[in-house]
Structure 1
Amino acid sequence: MNDKANYSLLAPARRSHVLASLSRDGVVRISQLIDELGVSPVTLRRDLAQMEDEGLLVRIHGGAVPPVVIADEDDEVAPSSPEESGAPRTIAVLVPSLNYYWPGVTRGMEQEARRRGVRVLVRAASYSLQDERPVLERFVNAEGVDGLIVAPNTDTPHAQDVIQWLAECGVPSVLVEREAIVLPGNEPVESVTSDHALGAVLAARHLASLGHRTVGLVISRDSPTSRKISQGWDAACRELDLTPTEHFESFLPDRTSPEFSAAVDAALDTAVERGTTALLVHPDAEAMAFADLALARGIRVPEDLSIIAYDDEVAAMFSPALTAVRPPREALGAAAVDLLLRRLEDPSRPVHRVTVNPALNVRASTAPAPERGA
């Protein structure tokens, strides 16, 4: 078979691809998805209808858009106790997406805010938005919010300008899943993050406990999370005495890139050539693509190749269900609200940077390493 890239994704991987595209672009077109996923219009429309029933998207003519924002300025939260009086505090949240990954984070924020009697405004920016300052300025100037929780795009020319603006706007702020400093003194910004490096270590230790020695890491080239995963993975390989000849790292382009299928093929080719028996793949959609292609090429999962996904957003929906590292999304959101409210209550307190540990959910896609020569 000389055209390995032209394979059709299974339903869970198709769903993940659609959600990732919505997160990035704000809209998906049926004509484009048919080409990208290699499925019939009937299959795709059935997928979109089911996802709409689940509240994941809203169908429009020729495609789909994200669901309605989960909170807006018209939402009001009653005080948490009858003794409280007056208008509740209002905090604004700006995250890159209200689809993949971030709904769990914002859900944790809303739950904690409701418990504390705080009103929340949620907005989704976009990974393609180069400068979030206009959105943040509207929050501060037009909405009159008391505090900000922000996940800025850190890979743009305006990234440091956004951080400087946050430090000078007069409203307390907390970064979520981001870390930054304020110039010129390099003071750290208050933040809540997942320990993604530890997540990679948990995955590597699990594979080592199953006897895997020749392992690989495949990560998204453009994700801020990937850098931390790579750092943890390198540390784990040193801890487990895996030498550079026994493991490899591969970076994938965006899933909508025309280079994506070829990159998946090339990474799987590398794994086969090196006798790799296990992979950690970030994020879920990419892990599903690897499992799909491996199965299409007659590589059994997990008997021949164990696969761990990173994010655990939709990994359990695949067959076999993927073992996955799950960042603590809800706890992360709750911690961000708590940190911001503590800052509002005591503006003089020291800067806090909170790190929350992920967990490893073991499922059917990992198994003991096959015996060499078997």
Structure 2
Amino acid sequence: MTDHTPRSPLAAERRAHVLAELASEGAVRISELIEDLGVAPVTLRRDLAQMEDEGLLVRVHGGAVPAEGRAMTPPSPAVVAAPRETATVAVLVPSLNYYWPAVVRGLEAEARHHGLRVLLRGASYELQDERPVLQRLVDSEKISGLIVAPNTDTPHAQDVVEWLADSGIPFVLVERDAVTLADGEPVESTTTDHALGAVLAARHLAGLGHKRVGLVLSRNSPTSRKIADGWHRACEDLKLKPSRHVETLVPDRLSPDFTSEVNAVLDSMMAAGITGLLVHSDPEAMAVVDLALNRGIKVPDDLSIIAYDDEVAQLFTPSLTAISPPRASVGRSAVELLAHRITNPDRPVHRVMLSPQLIVRESTAAPRV
């Protein structure tokens, strides 16, 4: 997908325009600069504040004038008029219809802020090796950077990371662990702390008074392992012994075995006296609620349920308490990391981890005594 949004001038171009206007007119007005440059007022005010700190101008109501005693020389026409070539960032994510659209919206917004063009491609969770797709992207046009969410549980996972490193193109992994290269060098990445999300869910259930809790995970999701790690840690911290909590993997919801396996999960959990569940992801959680209600199990009176992802959890009835990853912020962070890497290739590797939130809604309550 190509971003056809008109490019806003980069900071250097805005600066040159302001200096040229000060030199020719003796003053600038924010309203006119906004119209000339097509940027937000907050951007213009930030630019003027920085230039004032540098002694280039003095801000006045509605605009700015040259600093006292400073002769304003118009920048050369080449500096003012020469537009920069728009750099292109290629993005490869495993899906464009669930979870990832919000990540993409965040990274596209941040890319516009940095004057970057986005070339978007969607792969699939079944793809075993992203290298051919990445090679086509690199061959199709000049790429200044890559943002990639490769499948990590495949035989070629390390090969993909090595290919990215050998390409010579700056890259950032998004929602993937900061794996290391063969020589032990870390890889730049931005991720959600999904283990923390599971901890937040377990603490919420325990805080409501639930003693016997369960975890239902999507069998094919790379996120499931991280959720399970946090869940195990939380259950230990909260003194929920292994005999008092249950963990189950279920197949993809499109599988013909999904309904029968979820019903089997409900059977085992009701037999174990489970009163609270964390289910990954939203569609699986909604299916669990539907099947529970069909069996006369009331939510949340008999069974409290927390969904993990918060993609559509708020639309369900009852609205689902959910763990909400900061998807848009993850996208923005990935672009910010990449933009800094492009302009400063020698800076230390950054690995950013963002925290999810617990959103309490109607599907959780204290267990009935």
Q: Structure 1 unaligned segments of length 5 or more: list them.
A: 1-70
1:159 to 157, 160, 173: 157
1:325 paired residue number = 323
Does residue 72 (structure 1) correspond to residue 2 (structure 2)? The answer is yes
Letter in 2 for 1:235: R
Q: d(CA) in 1 for partners of 2:307 and 2:349? A: 33
Question: Per-residue deviation at 1:182?
Answer: 4.2
Same amino acid, percent of matched pairs: 61
Deviation at 1:140, TM superposition (A): 2.0
Tell whether the 8 Å contact from 2:178 to 2:351 is kept in structure 1 after alignment. no
Matches of 2:319 and 2:156 in 1, distance apart? 40
Q: Does the 8 A contact of 2:190 with 2:330 survive in 1? A: yes
Distance verdict in 2 for CA 1:331–1:295, change over 3 Å: same
Segments ≥4 residues shifted beyond 4 Å: 73-76
User: 2: distance between equivalents of 1:121 and 1:183?
Assistant: 26
**What amino acid is aligned across from residue 244 of structure 1 in structure 2?**
P
Match of 1:273 in 2: 271
* SS at structure 2 position matched to 1:280: strand
Q: Could you tell me the TM-score, scaled by structure 1's length? A: 0.78
Q: Does structure 2 conserve the Cα–Cα contact (< 8 Å) formed by 1:207 and 1:278?
A: yes
Q: Show CA shifts across 1:264-289 (max 9, x none).
A: 01111111001110000000011001
Asked whether 1:248 is paired with 2:230, we answer no
Residue 14 of structure 2: aligned partner: 83
Matches of 1:360 and 1:268, distance apart in 2? 24
Listed one character per residue, the Cα deviations across residues 160-204 of structure 1 (whole Å, up to 9, x for unaligned) are 111110010010100001125344212221100000000000001
Deviations 1:217-257 (A, max 9, x none): 00011111000000000010011110001101000111122
User: Counterpart of 1:224 in 2: which secondary structure?
Assistant: coil
Q: 1:119-138 to 2 correspondence within 5 Å?
A: 119-138=117-136
With over 3 angstroms needed to count, the CA separation of the structure-2 counterparts of 1:80 and 1:362, relative to structure 1, is farther
* DSSP 3-state at the match of 2:14: coil
TM-score by length of 2: 0.79
Q: State the secondary structure of the residue aligned to 2:168.
A: coil
* Residue of structure 2 in register with 1:112 after alignment: 110
Say which SS state the counterpart of residue 223 (structure 2) adopts: helix
Deviation at 1:141, TM superposition (A): 2.6
Following TM superposition, by how much is the alpha carbon of 1:90 offset from its aligned partner in structure 2, in angstroms?
Answer: 1.4
Aligned to 2:312: 314
Partner of 1:285: 283
Return the letter of the residue paired with 1:299. I
Where does residue 3 of structure 1 map in the other structure? none
Q: Could you tell me how far 1:79 is from its partner in structure 2?
A: 3.0
Q: Which residue of 2 aligns with 1:227?
A: 225
1:92/1:121 contact within 8 Å kept: yes
One-letter code aligned to 1:175:
L
How far has the Cα of 1:152 moved from its partner? 0.6
Q: Secondary structure at the match of 2:242?
A: coil
Mapped to 1, the partners of 2:273 and 2:250 lie a distance apart of 20
Considering only CA atoms, is the larger Rg found in Structure 1 or Structure 2?
A: 2
| Aligned-pair CA distance for 1:157 | 2.0
* Contact kept in structure 1, 2:148 and 2:173, CA below 8 Å: yes
The alignment's C-alpha RMSD in Å is 1.4
Letter in 1 for 2:302: D
Instruction: Select which of 100, 103, 107 maps to 1:102.
Output: 100
Contact 2:308 2:323 in 1 (8 A): yes
The answer to whether the 8 Å contact 1:310/1:324 transfers is yes
Shift of 1:75: 6.0
The one-letter amino acid of 2:2's match is: D
Q: For 1:163 and 1:108, locate their aligned partners in 2 and report how far apart those are by CA, in whole Å.
A: 24
The 8 Å contact of residues 140 and 171 in structure 1, kept in 2 or not, is answered as no
Q: 1:257 to 1:222 in 2, by over 3 A?
A: same
Q: What's the CA shift for 1:350?
A: 1.1
**What CA distance in whole angstroms lies between the structure 2 residues aligned with 1:74 and 1:213?**
53
Which deviates the most, 254-263 or 276-285? 254-263
**1:24-73 Cα deviation digits (max 9, x unpaired):** xxxxxxxxxxxxxxxxxxxxxxxxxxxxxxxxxxxxxxxxxxxxxxx327
SS at match of 1:204: helix
Instruction: Give how far 1:80 is off.
Output: 4.3
